[in-house]
Chain A
């Protein structure tokens, strides 16, 4: 089929196909976003059954109400990420409330868990080159020189990717904290998160522009 690499257009096409009741669209949606939804749910809820249930619920929501996604306001990924995050935190709260007598720092703990999950989500949605560079160095304990060699990039590129990747995370952290300080967002869209220095994650587009417009760009990722 058409090979556009515009993520917004893909999101809209997928939404249309979901609205038409195409089972294949549901399958593709799952394949594309289940790792994120299930991973986020799992990190917050730390429970296999609860994560599976929430995953089911999130996809059923999209399948039953594909119209509730507004492509003008962000990518499908960021919308589902925010929806999953919000519902998972709600569940965690409900669970904590059940275990009453837990004391005043339950809320603090929820915040910590939610923030950590959010950061993991951001890491997971970083452009592949940034993600693998961070993974090589941080998780595998290699120096930037070794990382550069293993990925076949210049040392300069490795340093840049590490700095940029962490910068994206730091910005996300600040937003996450601001969100917890301020009133809880009623709207899932807001937490999709714009990135620093005007960069946008894969599918976000400029200011409410309708999709299908030209001038869209894909994430450079930087090699």
Chain B
């Protein structure tokens, strides 16, 4: 059978697909018929088939997320860093690396999966690349504080008045409404949701891996800049609160962890929890923020605040425990790898400095506490060890998810 040069080229171009077994039967028969008469193609076909035979379907060993810290610690013990990453920046470096490792393996279809990102005011539904835009949009506040360019087009304050000096916003604090107010979230979060929307719009249509590469570059730049500001005192204005850089980094690590897990859930991949020492920093930050959440809860729902029921102005004094002008406090005992104890002031500043014997103690797992703080758990269904004033415990449990945001 004679064939034209054109047919020869056409069949030859199929050899790779043929060697991979990716040619439908009829075409495969054509290729094979040709091979028997064309030494040149036969040789290439054999060579490619041999190569395909070495493709293994066996998966490589999973790379455990904990390995990163182990390797870095091992290296740093042998040669200490001249320019170390501050301890408060390490969780962020670790969590962003973990999320990046998950995303590296996502296929085209998995990038189309929609992740559910619950928070206390509802649930956001975002694709993995949009989650990255959201993370980058909020990380941008840190970038600005560190003198880096803001990744979000239009800058941090676009479309919104700066919330200068507002360190402890009341729950219903109103910022001037934006032209495009999102459905859920309320005015307090509009700057964040607006920034996310702007970055998402800018990145729309980009290949997800490029969005990922860009996000990753920003993460690396942030950590590098953090290493140059080891005190961590630089104020970071999130719009709804201003916190020192060292807390902002832990906050970002926490959100990256939670949303990484949200994405992992959507694509049905396992996702490791943070290293215990990182988890501990996250818990510590959440605990320090809790009084704000408690105050917000009291302001919004005085009827829900345990010991405060029936007290007109919402500031209980002398209900249980210490009387006089001493604020009550609760002992939080965290179980698990990040074990530790914290005292949480229950009453606002008007009740006097917190002190005296804690009115209650509650024991819960560190990861569960984080899940609760991210509004990924129902406070009424969480397994908690309770001792003492149950109403106070309920109050804290119900306030904790208020730390979450869109």
Contact = CB atoms under 8 A, between A and B. Distances in A.
Interface of A: 1, 3, 20-24, 26-28, 30-31, 34-35, 38-39, 42-43, 46, 48, 51-52, 55-56, 59-60, 63-64, 115-116, 119-120, 123, 128, 132, 134-135, 137-139, 141-145, 147, 150-151, 156, 158-167, 169-170, 173
Given A55-B67, A143-B22, A144-B23, A163 B17 contact: yes
Given A21-B81, A31-B100, A159 B13 contact: yes
A101 B60 CA distance: 29
B161 interface: no
User: How many B residues are at the interface, by size bracket?
Assistant: 35 or more
Interface string B75-89: 110111111110000
A150 B20 contact: no
B20 A27 contact: no
A22 B22 contact: no
Interface stretch (B43-51, B176-184, B294-302, B312-320): B43-51
A132 B209 CA distance: 12
B224 interface: yes
Interface of B: 13-17, 19-24, 47-48, 50-52, 54-57, 60-61, 63-64, 67-68, 70-72, 74-76, 78-85, 93, 97, 100-101, 104, 107-108, 209, 216-217, 220-221, 223-224, 227
Contacts of B75: 26, 56, 59-60, 63-64
7 interchain residue pairs of minimum CB distance = A163-B16, A21-B82, A162-B16, A42-B61, A137-B22, A23-B81, A144-B17
B20 A116 contact: no
B227 to A, nearest CB: 6
Interface of B, secondary structure class, is: helix
Q: Find the residue from A3, A23, A165 having the highest chain B CB count within 10 A.
A: A23
A169 B56 CA distance: 12
B17 A59 contact: no
Contacts of A156: 13
Contact of A38 (B19, B52, B63, B74): B63
Nearest to B66: A52
Contacts of A145: 24
A71 to B, nearest CB: 20
Given A162-B17, A165-B16, A26 B81 contact: yes
B52 A166 contact: yes
A158 B110 CA distance: 21
A42 B63 CA distance: 9
Nearest to B67: A52
A138 B221 CA distance: 38
B16 A159 contact: yes
A169 B51 contact: yes
Contacts of A165: 16
Contacts of B80: 21
Contacts of B14: 144, 159
Contact of A116 (B23, B56, B63, B107): B56
B34 to A, nearest CB: 15
